[in-house]
Amino acid sequence: MASDTRRTNLPPLALHVPEPKFRPGDAVDFVGVDVPAVDAARRPDTAAQASEFPDLAYGLVRVLDLDGTAGGAWDPKLSPDMMRRMLRSMALVRAFDERMFRAQRQGKTSFYMKCTGEEAVAVAAAHALDYEDMCFPSYRQQGLLIARGWSLVDMMNQIYSNSADRLQGKQLPIMYSVKEAGFFSISGNLATQYPQAVGWAMASAAKGDTRISAVWCGEGSTAEGDFHSACTFASVYRAPVILNVVNNQWAISSFSGFAGAEATTFAARAVGYGIAGLRVDGNDALAVYAATQWAAERARTNQGPTLIEHFTYRAEGHSTSDDPGQYRSAGEATAWPLGDPIARLKAHLIALGEWDEDRHAAQDKELAEEVKVAQKEAEKNGILGHGLHQPLDTLFDGVFEEMPWHLREQQAQMMAEEAASGRPWDRK
């Protein structure tokens, strides 16, 4: 049909379908990834016009060099204590991830998602924000809760959907919600938290509050319409919000090219919206800290939103349901030119004479023990593998503030079924 109308004097059109550089079995060579020097990115005033940021949206804000030294205009010059706290938080996130991943493999819960290699993105941001600032995370920012000192046992209770689960077994594991820690309820629907975070920030501004909000999504989710809506709203109302894009190169099996990365950067999206845009080395905890602190000051002084792309790499599978060996080269994680966020901050502290291998090894051991103790504590409240732990009739709680008649009827029906069938769901 199309050929009937094709003009034969013109070359045929060709559809471009992006393809990642490396597939399973390929040798990995990341020479194409540009890693600018730590002093390459300028640090503008937080009151600078949004139109002045294109170089930063296409560049890369870095502080920690790969040899362990720190420098450049963005160096936040943190105290060794502060850096050790961040190192500890990141290592605790990794230890938590490893143990919970194993718990899923052991059948103790249905699902888990690690953030290996991306610990700096959440942990350093949490340290740079005020505790009262509201975070709208995606499912891979467990580091926010851990860095804010939230109880590991409480997080595990949620993962196990056990009797102490604050979400009453209603949510998929890792979809935490902790209002007290400024951690907004995680949704399975991608990017929906983006306009919500902007709305929260607008509300804070409208009420003359001093709190700001911060939101995270992956680079894959930037393709959602909500991302565009949120950026438009954030720009129009100069909302005090930090829009974080965690570009870990992969959205399940789709490489970042399917979100548009072949043609531009994600920070560069900010340019078109009139938002300050920063592209940051996401495996550099000091750079993430510095950029977040800068954006927070910009937001808090009514200069408006900042979009930060965190350039990083998803070192492991998407989730416990994913096998990355099916779609990408196993060599990618180790070849990633920006290295590992924990190893880099550790090397820096060692270079400063503020840390050493023995202390690091001792800390790892201590953190593994801390997670293990928390897990034992959480398992006292039950594990999903052993069945339901919530009173059956709570299934209907919280659909509405007050339960309408039709839900009360269905609740009664369910309880009658339970009684008639020999109480298969009855909790001891």
Partner 1 sequence: MTDLMDHTAEAATTTRMNMIQAINSAMDVMMARDPDVIVMGEDVGYFGGVFRATAGLQAKYGKTRVFDTPITECGIVGVAVGMGAYGLRPVPEIQFADYIYPALDQLVSEAARLRYRSAGEFTSPITVRSPFGGGIFGGQTHSQSPEGIFTHISGVKTVIPSTPYDAKGLLIAAIEDNDPTIFFEPKRIYNGPFNGHWDRPAENWSKHPAGEVPTGYYKIELGKAKVVREGEALTILAYGTMVHVCQQVVADTGVDAEIVDLRTLVPLDIDTIEASVKKTGRCMIVHEATRTSGFGSELSALVQERCFYHLEAPIERVTGFDTPYPHSLEWAYFPGPVRIGEALKKIMKDA
User: With CB under 8 A as the contact rule, which of the stretches 5-13, 74-82, 185-193, 359-367 interacts with partner 1?
Assistant: 185-193
Tell me which residue has tokens 């060099």.
65
Which is nearer to partner 1, 46 or 381 (by Cβ)?
381
Query: Which burial class, exposed, middle or buried, applies to 16 when counting CB atoms under 10 A from its CB (0-12, 13-18, 19+)?
Result: exposed
DSSP 3-state assignment of 176?
A: coil
How far apart are alpha carbons 22 and 331 in whole angstroms? 9
381 binds partner 1 (CB under 8 A): no
Which is nearer to partner 1, 86 or 242 (by Cβ)?
242
Residues 141-163 as b or e (16 or more Cβ within 10 Å = b): bbbbbbbbebebbbbbbbbbbbb
User: With CB under 8 A as the contact rule, which of the stretches 25-33, 184-192, 260-268, 279-287 interacts with partner 1?
Assistant: 184-192
User: With CB under 8 A as the contact rule, which of the stretches 7-15, 34-42, 202-210, 365-373 interacts with partner 1?
Assistant: 202-210
Which is nearer to partner 1, 363 or 390 (by Cβ)?
390
* The two three-digit tokens of residue 246, written as one number: 């965690």
Min. distance of Cβ 77 from partner 1 in angstroms? 34
Q: Given 237, 327, 359, 360, which residue is catalytic?
A: 327
Which residue, among 325, 385, 361, 368, has the nearest Cα to 98 in the 3D structure?
368
How far apart are alpha carbons 161 and 72 in whole angstroms? 46
- Strands 276-281, 254-255: pairing is unpaired
Binding residues among 148-167 for partner 1 as defined by CB under 8 A: 166-167
Q: Given 314, 328, 348, 389, which residue is catalytic?
A: 314
Min. distance of Cβ 419 from partner 1 in angstroms? 22
Query: At 316, which amino acid appears?
Result: E
273 binds partner 1 (CB under 8 A): no
Which is nearer to partner 1, 239 or 378 (by Cβ)?
239
Which is nearer to partner 1, 22 or 200 (by Cβ)?
200
Can you give the length of the chain in residues?
A: 428
How far apart are alpha carbons 84 and 81 in whole angstroms? 5
For the question of residue 318 being annotated catalytic, the response is yes
Partners of 135 in the β-ladder: 183, 214
* The two three-digit tokens of residue 28, written as one number: 């990995």
Residues with active-site annotation: 314, 318, 327
Q: Which residues bind partner 1 (CB under 8 A)?
A: 134, 136, 166-168, 170-171, 175, 177-179, 184-185, 187-189, 192, 194-207, 213, 225-226, 228-230, 232-233, 236, 397-401, 404-406
